[in-house]
Amino acid sequence: MSYDSSFLLTHSPAQKPACKNLGRNSQSPTITHKATYTPVSNRAGSRSA
């Protein structure tokens, strides 16, 4: 989970403004953003294992 957090923080500055704007319109984009990172985390974990 630490690795995932680090990756999210790295993209936080660039994605934060977009996420905030989209979040105001609807929560759907927030879920999509999270789902996009989920597969990446799983792939990294699979390779590590």
Dihedral angle computed from the Cα positions of residues 21, 2, 40 and 30, in that order, rounded to the nearest 10 degrees: -20
Over residues 8-27, the pLDDT tens digits come to 555 555 555 555 555 555 55
- With cut-offs at 50, 70 and 90, classify the pLDDT of residue 43: low
The answer to whether residue 47 scores a pLDDT higher than 60 is yes
Q: Based on C-alpha coordinates, what's the Rg of the chain?
A: 12
Q: pTM of the full predicted structure?
A: 0.14
CB atoms within 10 A of CB 41: 15
